[in-house]
């Protein structure tokens, strides 16, 4: 009878020894199995700045550069993220028919004037929080990038990680506006307004669209480590236990805004006042009645109350209600020049870049943000040329076909 030991399974040590032998011979085996003539290194490498072709190229690099909580803060939205997804899907429901007489891109001039600011392209940088965690260049880098990209205006977030007094002088000749979240204390409101305006901000954007946000997906990810954590801006570093109404996802700093408060703000603001977060035609009319110089149609990029319509779907109604009395700006979901064209065709006078601009900064700093903005600018020019639109005024509802569902 044969020794029974020869039929036993090899020990863990013997198994590892066999694996080591296979690894030692791997180069020969790999060479024999490789059927792609390109060097293996070309399959797995990050693209460089000069190779960036679309905004999505930047997102991949951005994701690899930042920590998971910082990525989550940028990527996720409110609740089940229905609005986050619908903001993007809506662009798929708008077609741009080919023009019978397309024109050369060199003939396209999309310049305009917005609230006294001359713009080569109808694009702005939206207010988004905490840019230093994205890249050390932070808000200063974003402002420099925007200014270098044909003088693109930037709206600085209330939750800036760099004081406005340091950001404002960083790009001479640039246009910096500031975002403001309503404060129930009027004295505190005045302090904010004075800080922004004394620093040189030429306009104030009062944000009212952040109504009931709770970033569930991000909080779940942060809590996987077993520690009790609350939501921090981009870091998840807070360990305070939620108490009171906050235990039930009720944010007492919101849901109290009134038009009387907007009237009070209007008296404090020396330059243009923009109201960000309009999602209804009647509210747009009220905004005009209460002194708004422009409105921004926004659902906070899907980070406000979930299960509403996309901003693109409500844009035509609001633009019709405004009827040209004040500029109508638009945000939430812009990723391509074609997206910008569709928003302009449905009634926007300009668009604001949020997540996409953050991708550029987080991927390559100031240079990355500038290149991303310029890519979208040139994509817009190419789409306008293909649609036969030489001027901004040529882009109207006749240049698109909507199929909202």
- Kind plus residue range of the DSSP H or E element containing 375: helix 355-386
- Kind plus residue range of the DSSP H or E element containing 13: helix 12-24
Determine the Cα–Cα distance for residues 291 and 266; give it in Å rounded to an integer.
6
Residues 6+ apart with CB under 8 A from 276: 127, 179, 205, 206, 207, 208, 209, 295, 296, 298, 331
Q: Is 204 helix (H, G, I), strand (E, B) or coil?
A: strand
Q: Tally the C-alpha atoms within 13 A of residue 208's C-alpha that lie toward its C-beta.
A: 24
Catalytic entry in 14, 76, 135, 300:
300
Q: Provide Rg for the chain, Cα atoms.
A: 25
Q: Is 89 a catalytic residue?
A: no
Determine the Cα–Cα distance for residues 268 and 270; give it in Å rounded to an integer.
6
Any idea what DSSP says for residue 131?
Answer: -
Residues 6+ apart with CB under 8 A from 62: 71, 74, 134, 358, 359, 360, 362, 363
Cβ-in-10-Å burial (0-12, 13-18, 19+) of 316 comes to: middle
Determine the Cα–Cα distance for residues 355 and 332; give it in Å rounded to an integer.
9
**Residues identified as active-site:** 300
């Amino acid at each position: 009878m044969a020794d029974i030991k020869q039929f036993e399974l090899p020990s863990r040590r013997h198994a590892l020894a066999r694996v080591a032998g296979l690894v030692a011979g791997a180069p020969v085996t790999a060479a024999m199995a490789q059927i792609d003539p390109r060097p293996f290194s070309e399959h797995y490498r990050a693209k460089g700045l000069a190779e960036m072709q679309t905004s999505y190229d930047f997102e991949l690099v951005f994701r690899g550069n930042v920590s998971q909580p910082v990525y989550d803060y940028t990527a996720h939205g409110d609740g089940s993220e229905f609005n986050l997804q619908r903001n993007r899907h809506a662009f798929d429901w708008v077609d741009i028919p080919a023009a019978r007489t397309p024109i050369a891109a060199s003939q396209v001039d999309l310049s305009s004037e917005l609230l006294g600011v001359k713009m080569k392209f109808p694009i702005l940088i939206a207010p988004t929080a905490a840019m230093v965690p994205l890249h050390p260049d932070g808000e200063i880098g974003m402002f420099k990038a925007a200014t270098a990209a044909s003088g693109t205006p930037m709206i600085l977030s209330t939750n800036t990680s760099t004081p406005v007094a340091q950001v404002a002088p960083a790009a001479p000749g640039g246009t910096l506006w500031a975002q403001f979240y309503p404060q129930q204390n009027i004295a505190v409101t005045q302090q904010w307004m004075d800080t922004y305006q004394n620093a040189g901000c030429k306009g104030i954007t009062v944000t009212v669209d952040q109504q009931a946000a709770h970033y569930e997906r991000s909080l779940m990810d942060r809590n996987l480590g077993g520690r009790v954590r609350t939501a921090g801006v981009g870091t998840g570093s807070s360990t305070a236990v939620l108490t009171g109404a906050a235990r039930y996802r009720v944010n007492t700093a919101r849901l109290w805004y009134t038009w009387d408060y907007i009237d009070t703000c209007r008296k404090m603001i020396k330059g243009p006042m923009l109201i960000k977060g309009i999602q209804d035609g009647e509210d747009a009319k009220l905004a005009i009645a209460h002194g708004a110089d422009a409105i921004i149609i926004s659902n906070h990029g899907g980070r406000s109350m979930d299960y509403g319509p996309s901003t693109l779907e409500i844009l035509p109604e609001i633009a019709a209600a405004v009827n040209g009395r004040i500029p109508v700006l638009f945000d939430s979901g812009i990723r391509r020049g074609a997206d910008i064209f569709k928003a302009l065709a449905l009634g926007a006078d300009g668009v604001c870049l949020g997540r996409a601009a953050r991708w550029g900064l987080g991927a390559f700093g100031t240079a990355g943000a500038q290149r991303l903005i310029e890519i979208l600018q040139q994509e817009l020019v190419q789409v306008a040329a293909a649609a036969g639109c030489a001027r901004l005024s040529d882009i109207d509802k006749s240049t698109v076909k909507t199929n909202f569902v």
